[in-house]
Structure 1
Amino acid sequence: MHRRQFIQSLSTLAGGSLLLPACGGPSTKKIPGEIVGASASIGHLLRDGGLQGPVELAGTTDVVIAGGGISGLSAGRWLQKNGISDFVLLDLEKHAGGNAASGHNNICAYPWGAHYIPVPNNDLTEYLAFLQESNVITGYNEQGLPVYNEYYICFAPEERLYINGTWQNGLVPHAGLPVEEQQQFKRFFEQMEIFRQAKGSDGKDAFAIPVLHSSTDIQYRQLDRISMRAWLQQNGYTSGYLHWYCNYCTRDDFGTRYEEASAWAGIHYFAGRKGKAANAEHQDVLTWPQGNAWLAQQLQKNFTSQVKVNSLVVNVAETNTGVDVIYFDVNAKRLKKIAARKCIIAAPQFIAQRLIKNNNRLAAIHEHFSYSPWMVANLTVGPLQERRGEELCWDNVIYDSESLGYVEATHQLLEQHIPQKVLTYYLPLTKSDATTERKKALALQHADWVQMIIKDLQKVHGNIRDAVQHLDVMVWGHAMIQPKLNCIHNPERQQVAQPVNNRIFFAHTDLAGISIFEEGFYQGIQAAKSVIQSFQ
């Protein structure tokens, strides 16, 4: 018996989640917690030009990596593996990792951002090698398929959806759906499977990972010119449930509503995944209590001494011999400079532009790069009252909610019967345009967020206010690139990725057009390879 099946059987014997009687009346309990997280106030000093004064020389190096998200960490790992250890990685936060941030309390670690990776495609050689180094892949079977560590494959039960008064298994709506709506889902997934197997006239996969490896055949590129909603309408999909599901998917992966997301990106969500494994399917996911922060730790484990946190890069300027990188040392409260031969800016393009002030890139960035704001909350809870249907899962979604629901961070712990749990609640802020939502989010107080979250979760947990013991909130102002119309296959986006005079290089998921782990991983490798080649 696989360990995942064993865990599931224990959960069944224990009776799943506790069913509690309804509360007697509305609770007025005040829920403790705070707004935590990304150092927006310090970052805004770069935007507002508030950092001035004398600059102290902090040393010299071959390469400075500006940004410690997945792209920056992947670049550092690749440099280290290929004989370049004279580099420094600078990151504003207290811990590197970017959107793969995490926290912890006395119960467990939990994610503050990206929290899983799908089973990888089998042609991603470098990525598979990294996962094997990290013991996520424990070996290969006789057919050459990877064997994934059972501790990291999401334990059952994995997903549930609250719809039509009940919790159903899985996130694809089916409970209470009319036959004709179920048939539309069947036709939709059959069409997605055709896209998943399709190749263009150039012989490339129509939808590949990384995105740059996808076919440039016009019949697929033209899907970037219409929205996912328009594509559904053009293909005769009228089911409100299917439209909700596609909108949920684009908001989940891209922080973008389906009427704004390009159809190419929306279809890629379903058609880009092709992984095969000895003990997992392409739709399975790998996860950890702290989410992708675990992977970020693995990326940097061999060069932790070269990582300088609490360091805000404020300027990157070419010199006669290389590049001067000026940064604000948050702890010392002073500006410092590192003289480098090369620099990799592993940050979003709206930040990169402020660092190098290159007018040739400015117009393209303003026109083609938009970033979605998110709110993430972590709730420490006692026993929860449950609605009928499926028991508590790793991923728990409420139909027709503005939120994406929550994942249970304690789900992946070896000890399964824990009296308290940590729920990580995700809300992409997509009601209006990103700028408006960003301003609204930054103006809200902790109590405002608590009221909003409790109101949403009361639909499925009648005692949620009494059950919550602590609730912290983090607002991500620019969480991920939005793949709007003409984003993925726009040549200007690709032009922005080009190095500056073979000295300044760029690596970030926004250059790919979609923000997934593999894109960050390969953006970092590509930038590191370009740096290595420039030294030759």
Structure 2
Amino acid sequence: MQRRHLLASAAGASLLTLAGCNADRAIQGGFTGINHTRGHQLRDTRSWPAPSVQHKPRVLIAGGGVAGLAAARALRLRGMNDFALLELEDEAGGNARGGSVEAIACPLGAHYLPLPGPDAPEVQDLLEELGLRQRVSGRWQYDERHLCHSPQERLFFHGAWQEGLLPVQGVGEATLAQYRAFAALVEQARKTVHWSLPAWRSPHTPFKQALAAQTFAAWLNQQGLNDTHLRWYLDYCCRDDYGAGIGTVSAWAGIHYFASRHGFSAPGAESGEREGLLTWPEGNAWLTRRLAAPLGERLHTGQIVLRVEPGKHGVEVDAFNTHTHTVERWQAEQVVVALPVFVAARIVQNAPGFLQEAAARTVHAPWLVANLHIDKPLFDRPGPAPSWDNLIYGDAATAPGLGYVDAMHQSLLPVPGATVLTYYRALGSVEGGPKKGRELLLQKPWAQWRDEILRELSIAHPDLGAKATRMDITRYGHAMAIPVPDKGGRAGQVPPAFGRIRFAHSDWAGYSVFEEAFALGHLAGA
């Protein structure tokens, strides 16, 4: 179902400058979604009170992100119901949680799930369980209400919108030739080795290891792929999936982005349909809330896991309950640590070498997610109609973000009205690196972020400031692991067990996507 396409005259739109828009309306908002002080308590607190309460489940899961929720589901499916899950925030879901602004649901992080392939049977089973897919006449069919409606994506390029995110309108033959050359290289890579999601379901061959040892930018240089438009698009793809650009992520990650899914189609080339996407107004929170719902009282939120110590007959875990301000002790036969590897290495006592090594080599990207409520439809520039995913072409100074998705795109309303635009910005490649990005997240005031985001989006929507009412910003200091070059070739691994402790988190894949976290979590709980 397409949103109605509204056009304003160029003369009328040109009068709506950002400065004038800000003068017209005061935009409210603030920081929301993540209680970063809880996580920092683990780092900053020198001593904790003695445990005052003791619990004895058979299995304990530390971490309620996608991996932890998947482990809980696996336990339930095999009839193991004597377990508990500890989550730091007040809602499970990790980077796949959702919120609302002015009563309109919107994502706080991950906002879509590609239709899973045969290497992700756990995800396929989940979608079948939730009624999102069913077998009809021997073929799998997906519920069209949850598939991303058309038009799916567009790019603001040279003053107008174009369909798709790869720059094509008005580019020269040299650019198109490089698009074709890159498409051929991706296809060659797909024929050379198997690429899978999750990555550990395909062998990490010498071919992949050679790619994993260098940056994507260095590999592109070797191939003579220096076109500005191609490299901008590939940089966007890497920032979007991995939190950092082509100069930071490995060539393995850059190729894996395309080879493990839909390939790369050059303009004019014959190709099959682009893969379908599942999306919801609240993003992937639609999935995580359904994974958390059956847990009931087994889900304990507001828990800071302080210590995980294996013993002869089980595992002892201490956690600070932020609701009661007491330390509680949990004794379990087995524990699944579904936490970022740097946290796991801090809290697991006598941490094994493989955990310490993983924590030392893992680099995390900071992220910012802004949900911007507008009370009226925006006037639009020439080109395709407003889409689910809307991206602005530009350099790091003018358009550093990853565009925005429209929370009401899936709506069946015949006339567009108020909506929430969810804007994303990855800070893994800012000058100074991820550490500097985290400093910016914590130190830069909300009003400065607001003005920067409005300035960027007003490139395509000069009337935005006059129609925006509120902007809520969620900050993730360690949103995802960046797949940086790794000479050891460890990308996409299954972590070994440490006695009665199992590990599951997207960090072990080297990057953060639903399929990786869910499959590892299911494996840990099986």
TM-score with structure 1 length normalisation?
0.90
Alignment of 1:413-492 (within 5 A): 413-429=411-427, 430-432=429-431, 433-486=433-486, 489-490=489-490
- Give the AA of the match of 2:170: G
Q: Which amino acid aligns with 1:85?
A: N
Is the contact between residue 120 and residue 282 of structure 1 (CA under 8 Å) also seen in structure 2?
Answer: no
Distance in 1 of aligned mates of 2:462 and 2:487: 42
Match of 1:265 among 234, 244, 253: 253
Flag the 1:24–1:462 CA change in 2: closer, same or farther, 3 A.
Answer: closer
Q: Which amino acid aligns with 2:513?
A: I
Deviations 1:182-220 (A, max 9, x none): 121122123323333x254xxxx1x11111122332123
SS at match of 2:408: helix
User: In structure 2, the residue corresponding to 1:500 is in which secondary structure?
Assistant: coil
Please state whether the residue corresponding to 1:99 is helix, strand or coil: helix
2 CA distance for matches of 1:291 and 1:349? 25
Q: How big is the shift at 1:274? A: 5.8
Tell me the CA shift for residue 366 of structure 1. 4.7
Backbone CA RMSD of aligned residues:
2.0
Aligned counterparts of 1:487 and 1:117: Cα–Cα separation in 2? 30
Mapped contact 1:68–1:97 kept (Cα < 8 A):
yes
Residue of structure 2 equivalent to 1:3: none
Q: Which residue of 2 aligns with 1:356?
A: 348
Measured in 1, the distance between the counterparts of 2:378 and 2:54 equals 53
C-alpha displacement of 1:367:
3.4
1:108 aligns with 2:104: yes
Residue of 19, 26, 31 corresponding to 2:8: 19
* Residues 7, 380 of structure 2: 8 Å contact kept: yes
What's the counterpart of residue 368 of structure 2?
Answer: 375
What is the CA distance between 1:123 and its match in structure 2?
A: 3.9
Q: Evaluate the alpha carbon distance shift between residue 358 and residue 266 of structure 1 in structure 2; reply closer, same or farther with a 3 A threshold.
A: farther
Query: Shift of residue 316 of structure 1?
Result: 1.0
Change (3 A) 1:509 1:416: farther
Indicate the residue corresponding to 2:401 in structure 1. 403
Stretch of structure 1 that moved more, 125-134 or 343-352: 125-134
**Contact persistence 1:316–1:356 (CA under 8 A):** yes
Per-residue deviation at 1:494?
A: 4.7
Larger mean CA deviation between 180-189 and 148-157 belongs to 180-189
Distance 2:240 2:111 in 1: 12
Amino acid at match of 2:338: A
> What corresponds to 2:42 in structure 1?
46
Cα gap change, 1:51/1:93 in structure 2, threshold over 3 Å: closer, same or farther?
A: farther
Instruction: Report if the CA contact (8 A) 2:99-2:107 is conserved.
Output: yes
**Greater mean deviation of Cα atoms: 47-56 or 239-248:** 47-56
- What amino acid is the match of 2:180? K
User: Structure 2 length as normaliser, TM-score?
Assistant: 0.91
Is the aligned partner of 1:339 residue 2:331? yes
Q: Residues of 2 paired with 1:216 and 1:44: CA distance?
A: 36
1:122 equivalent in alignment to 2:111? no
Report the Cα offset of residue 70 of structure 1: 0.3
User: What are the superposed Cα offsets for residues 412-448 of structure 1, whole Å, 9 maximum, x if unpaired?
Assistant: 1232524111000000012131111101211011101
Counterpart code for 1:306: R
Give the 5 Å matches for 1:233-272: 233-272=221-260
In the alignment, does 2:182 pair up with 1:188? yes
1:532 matched residue in structure 2: none
**Kept in 2: contact 1:227–1:261 (CA 8 A):** yes
1:107 to 1:175, Cα distance in 2 relative to 1, 3 A: farther
- Correspondence list, 1:34-113, <5 A: 34-50=30-46, 52-113=48-109
- What CA distance in whole angstroms lies between the structure 1 residues aligned with 2:113 and 2:64? 19
Instruction: Give the letter aligned to residue 75 of structure 2.
Output: L
Question: Which range moves more in the overlay, 477-486 or 295-304?
Answer: 295-304
Change (3 A) 1:140 1:199: farther
- Whole-angstrom CA distance in 1 between matches of 2:147 and 2:16: 40
- Which runs of 5 or more residues in structure 2 are unaligned? 264-271
Q: CA deviation at 1:92?
A: 1.0
Structure 1: gaps (5+ residues): 1-6, 530-536
Identity of aligned residues (%): 35
Deviation at 1:319, TM superposition (A): 3.1
Per-residue displacement from partner, 1:360-411 (whole Å, max 9, x unpaired)? 4465135310100000000001221322222211000011221001000111
The alpha carbon displacement at 1:140 in A equals 3.9
Residues 130, 120 of structure 1: alpha-carbon distance in 2 compared, 3 angstrom cutoff = same
Cα distance in 2, alignment partners of residues 159 and 274 from structure 1? 16
Do the aligned residues in 2 keep the contact of 1:122 with 1:274 (CA within 8 Å)?
no
Alpha carbons of structure 1 residues 379 and 488: separation in structure 2 relative to 1, 3 Å? farther
